[in-house]
Amino acid sequence: MPPAASPITRTFSASSPGSRSCSCCVRGYDAPIRELEPRPYRVVLFDAGGTLLRPHPSQEEVTARVLTEAGIDVAGDPLVEAIRAANARLFGGHGRDAQRWASESAIREVWLEYYELVLARIGVPWDRALGGRIYDAFGVAESWALFEDVLPTLAALRTRGLRLGIVSDWGTALVPIVHAMGLSAHFGVAVVSAYAGVAKPDRDVFAYALARIGATAEETLYVGDVYLADVLGARGAGIEPILIDRAGRFGFVDCVVVRSLVEIPAHIEAALSPS
């Protein structure tokens, strides 16, 4: 992996070589919020996992492959249910300790705890080395794919002259994954929590991204799939949030919600030309 551009961020150029989910949201609104605040938007920052990237072919299949290589034949519904239960147990609460995502070692421990829950659910004795192999399997680009709406959206935003960046709670593997997937040409900066020493929803991680990309909060949007980390985190830094909810998991929340990233350019156009 090439050296970091700084302890917090990697800065990409066109010539560069190639989460989790959360059940918490604000419900009870009479109608969804459909429009962005009218601001002079010039920058769009994105979360990575669940927003730009998804496990490939799936989280279950990558996990099952590692287990099979270890001589453990578990797949199908039991593994799916085990992963669902681990998601609910570890990521489904209403609180969030940002420091758990603020270093490579801390992030690794989160996922080791996660896979200990998964293995216990399917009756496999805990093996820390095996948990580490599962974690490492997700540290390569081959275990990830772009959502279909990503490239058309990035192209549309860049055509409109907007600058793009990534702010993600992820381990150090994210940067080579982004390079390998050909995303470097689209993003001017990527702020990764494992390098930053700070994670969402802490406003400092957003403030650093703004400083690196040379923008103010007033002219910036942030797009993510987790209400607590992404919506509240961005808003705490003065950035207008958009929640991407492809599966329709959320009820009415106090921000703009899109089912596809391709909706975002139209929202920006409307905000720049309010009626």
70/110 same-domain check: yes
Which residues span the domain enclosing 93?
A: 56-142
158/267 same-domain check: yes
pLDDT in tens, 76-87: 799 999 999 999
48/62 same-domain check: no
25/91 same-domain check: no
84/164 same-domain check: no
Measured CA to CA, the distance from residue 87 to residue 46 in angstroms comes to: 22
More confident residue, 167 or 4: 167
151 burial class (0-12, 13-18, 19+ CB within 10 angstroms)? middle
The reply to whether 185 falls in a domain is: yes
According to the model, what pLDDT value does residue 12 have? 39
20/155 same-domain check: yes
Boundary (domain end) residue, out of 86, 120, 142: 142
Please provide the average confidence, as pLDDT, over all residues in the chain. Answer: 88
CATH code of the domain covering residue 217: 3.40.50.1000
The reply to whether 20 falls in a domain is: yes
The reply to whether 3 falls in a domain is: no
The reply to whether 1 falls in a domain is: no
Boundary (domain end) residue, out of 94, 110, 142: 142
Average the pLDDT over 212-241 and give the result.
97
Per-residue tokens: 86: 């681990």
Alpha-carbon distance values, 97 to 115, 181, 201, 236 (Å): 19, 30, 9, 16
Which residue do the tokens 């990764």 mark? 192
100/183 same-domain check: no
Q: Which helix (H) or strand (E) holds 136?
A: helix 128-137
Average the pLDDT over 259-264 and give the result.
98
The reply to whether 198 falls in a domain is: yes
8 burial class (0-12, 13-18, 19+ CB within 10 angstroms)? buried
Rounded to a whole number, what is the distance in angstroms from the first to the last CA of the chain?
A: 49
| Predicted structure pTM score | 0.88
Measured CA to CA, the distance from residue 47 to residue 232 in angstroms comes to: 13
pLDDT at 10 over 90: no
76/101 same-domain check: yes
Measured CA to CA, the distance from residue 191 to residue 101 in angstroms comes to: 13
pLDDT at 255 over 50: yes
In sequence order, what are the beta bridge partners of 92?
A: none
The reply to whether 2 falls in a domain is: no
200/230 same-domain check: yes
Torsion (CA) 215, 216, 221, 222 in degrees, nearest 10: 80
174/237 same-domain check: yes
Boundary (domain end) residue, out of 96, 121, 142: 142
127/234 same-domain check: no
* Total number of domains in the chain: 2
193/150 same-domain check: yes
pLDDT in tens, 179-188: 999 999 999 9
pLDDT in tens, 103-141: 999 999 999 999 999 999 999 999 999 999 999 999 999
Q: Is the peptide bond before 152 cis (omega within 30 degrees of 0)?
A: no
In sequence order, what are the beta bridge partners of 16?
A: none
Measured CA to CA, the distance from residue 166 to residue 184 in angstroms comes to: 10
Measured CA to CA, the distance from residue 57 to residue 205 in angstroms comes to: 31
According to the model, what pLDDT value does residue 28 have? 41
Beta 163-168 vs 189-192: how paired, if at all? parallel
> Cβ distance 189 to 165 under 8 Å?
yes
According to the model, what pLDDT value does residue 249 have? 87
According to the model, what pLDDT value does residue 5 have? 37
The reply to whether 158 falls in a domain is: yes
Q: Shortest CA distance to 118 belongs to which of 87, 139, 72, 143?
A: 87
The reply to whether 245 falls in a domain is: yes
More confident residue, 5 or 52: 52
